[in-house]
Amino acid sequence: MPAPPTHRARPESASAAVSDSVVPDSDATAKCGCAEANRRQVMRRATMAVLLFGLMVWSPSGRPAAQTPAATESERAACDALLQTRNLTITYAGVSATRNGTSYCYVKGILPPAIQFHAQLPLPSNWNGRFLKWGDGGKDGDLDFADQRVVEGYAVANSNTGHDSGAEPGSSFAYDNRQAEIDFGYRAVHLTTVAAKTLVRSYYGRAPEYSYFEGCSTGGRQGLMEAQRYPDDFDGIVAGAPANHYQDMNAVRVWLLQRMFRDDFAGALAFDTDGDGRFDSVRKMDMLADAVLARCDRNDGIKDGVIDDPLSCDFDPRRDLADERCAGDVDADDCFTAAQVQTIHDFHAGPHDSQERPIYAGKPIGSEPGWTRLFIPYTGNRFNPGAVGLGGDHLNYLFYETDPGVAPSDLLDTSRSANRNALPPEWAWWDFDINDVPDGKGDVMRQITDATDPDLSRFLVDNDGKLVLYHGWADALVVPQPTLAYYHDVAETTFDGDLSATRERARLFMVPGMGHCRGGNGPDTWDRLRPLVDWVERGTAPDALIATHQTDGEVDNERPICAVPQRAVYTGPDGGADDPANWVLENFTCR
């Protein structure tokens, strides 16, 4: 029998009764002061944290929880009995505990062909009557725990999405394996939900009163996929930074890497200060961030190091970096060459096809601090930018209808030609042609992985479901503009363009200064789930999310994150908008 769970530092065969079709559904076949230096250090640490922890969003503590008593013999027996749950293949059932000592019933099982799932079931005396499907991050071929939600009383489930390849780079599981692609795309989440609800009924003697989904990034994509394909699974869904344009997003990530690596790194935003052939300075990125803030920080009337609305910022590197150009276009640590200015422009503008039609949104203005770890090979990331791990093998296995070949063992050696004569043949990301996107070469996989259908009538209307979307305006990994566009598409398609009617069932919160799922210069911390629960169960729609930002454990910024189309406006003491002491909730109003 497998051992009980070992909790990692991540806060975050079945019979026909829970089987599902193993084919796609028919409709889806410079110089700065110390304060500024500290700000940059915090931003870089926050960005790295997002990369290291696989794009997961951790649920913040809703309230402190007391340690629960150890399970009684009868509680242990009831948990052990789940090994015999009918119509499910359960491989382990036994009492475990969270890190703070809260006991719960831990169950693991298998859904064919390769979906491993687990459930954390609070002891009956601690169950709040709710079920929560915990979303995933990246390719997330592992099992994630949600201890804090268990402490709060939720019965929680998660799966490996049908593979054991890990989060990133973790695409090789899909090589010539359509079933694995389908399981990852949508089937694993749904079947895990069905199986977990069966366990809930068996363990507690009744079905959950309410069922919720909470996730960010890939988890956000999964939440929208559930709303579109399986509208009866949940009463409410929280979908953060949804990677729902999954194929275009990953293709463009590779295109951006090509911009940074092209022409022997001529456009890379870094410099080799000691001449050893390796980039060791990213001072240019600090200069770029300063220039962006100088142009647009005060657009909202507050100088706080945050671009409140990137869409209202008219930063143009060709104009706004004119005084920072390198003399004679000879590269140096404190200036920009023409090739580097072009790279910045490309990142902001996004790719265009051969007819100069936009393919996908570029990086939002204000996200520049996040580019360093993601896209620049330098000493600070051991010459392994995060986007290589996140997308370096995606196009090999998860983009084309027929996989073009396996990824090279070294995803950084762009000088090497892929061996097309090998068995199996190699194919490298640096050979990708962005025109394959508009030419439709990723369309089959889009039907499996993308969650872009704006018709949510079955979930929002027929099922009376509630949807909370959020996205950081400074997200350098999953760009936020498509989420805003999707929300308006939902309003147009599901509610005939009536935004007021849309807001009765679905709300979107664009978070100024927040990076991917969390982190960044702006307020980024709030309980992601509680506002949804209050909306579903009490009818209290969230007009704003009360968010905070912390530095060294101290709250230094607090304000409402307003539901679209409103935004937070400073209404505090006259002349005090730039004073951090005034960045408190009562000094802001949603308008």
Judgement on whether residues 158 and 294 belong to the same structural domain of the protein: no
The predicted structure's pLDDT at residue 448 = 99
Query: Confidence band (pLDDT; 50, 70, 90) for 167?
Result: low
Positive or negative, the Cα torsion across 50, 362, 360, 494? positive
The DSSP code sequence of 73-113 is: HHHHHHHHGGGG-TTSEEEEEEEEE-TT--EEEEEEEEETT
Judgement on whether residues 219 and 313 belong to the same structural domain of the protein: no
- Which range, of 2-6, 368-372, 448-452, 453-457, averages the lowest pLDDT? 2-6
The predicted structure's pLDDT at residue 4 = 53
Judgement on whether residues 359 and 485 belong to the same structural domain of the protein: no
Considering only residues 68 and 274, tell me which one the structure prediction assigns the higher pLDDT. 274
The predicted structure's pLDDT at residue 43 = 41
Strand partners, 360: none
Judgement on whether residues 233 and 162 belong to the same structural domain of the protein: yes
pLDDT, tens digit, for every residue of 96-119?
A: 999 999 999 999 999 999 999 999
Token duo for residue 499: 């935004």
Judgement on whether residues 323 and 175 belong to the same structural domain of the protein: no
Per the domain annotation, does 3 fall within a domain? no
The predicted structure's pLDDT at residue 66 = 43
Per the domain annotation, does 360 fall within a domain? yes
The predicted structure's pLDDT at residue 391 = 85
Per the domain annotation, does 422 fall within a domain? yes
Per the domain annotation, does 562 fall within a domain? no
The predicted structure's pLDDT at residue 590 = 98
Judgement on whether residues 470 and 527 belong to the same structural domain of the protein: yes
Query: Confidence band (pLDDT; 50, 70, 90) for 69?
Result: low
The predicted structure's pLDDT at residue 68 = 57
Average pLDDT over residues 549-563: 97
Residue 360 has pLDDT above 90, yes or no: yes
The answer to whether 391 and 253 are in contact (CB under 8 A) is yes
The predicted structure's pLDDT at residue 8 = 37
Per the domain annotation, does 382 fall within a domain? yes
Judgement on whether residues 426 and 471 belong to the same structural domain of the protein: no
Judgement on whether residues 331 and 441 belong to the same structural domain of the protein: yes
Judgement on whether residues 511 and 523 belong to the same structural domain of the protein: yes
Backbone region of residue 213 per phi and psi (left: phi > 0; alpha: psi in -120 to 50; beta: other values):
beta
Positive or negative, the Cα torsion across 452, 489, 136, 410? positive
Judgement on whether residues 491 and 402 belong to the same structural domain of the protein: no
Per the domain annotation, does 83 fall within a domain? yes
- Which amino acid belongs to residue 173? F
Question: Domain end: 414, 445, 476, which one?
Answer: 445
User: What are the angstrom distances between the C-alpha of 411 and each of 274, 386, 434, 573?
Assistant: 26, 12, 18, 54
Average pLDDT over residues 509-525: 98
530 SS3 class: helix
Question: Domain end: 519, 542, 565, which one?
Answer: 542
Looking at residue 520, which CATH number applies to its domain? 3.40.50.1820
- Give how many domains the chain has, as a whole number: 2
- Which range, of 17-26, 181-190, 363-372, 412-421, averages the lowest pLDDT? 17-26
Question: Domain end: 377, 411, 445, which one?
Answer: 445
Which H or E run includes 317? helix 317-320
d(CA 514, CA 507) in angstroms, rounded, equals: 18
Query: Confidence band (pLDDT; 50, 70, 90) for 355?
Result: confident
User: What per-residue string of b and e applies to 107-137 under the rule 16 or more CB within 10 Å gives b?
Assistant: bbbbbbebbbbbbbbbbeebbbebbbbbbbb
Per the domain annotation, does 86 fall within a domain? yes
The predicted structure's pLDDT at residue 392 = 86
pTM over 0.85: yes
pLDDT, tens digit, for every residue of 245-263?
A: 999 999 999 999 999 999 9
Boundaries of domain holding 200: 73-246+452-542
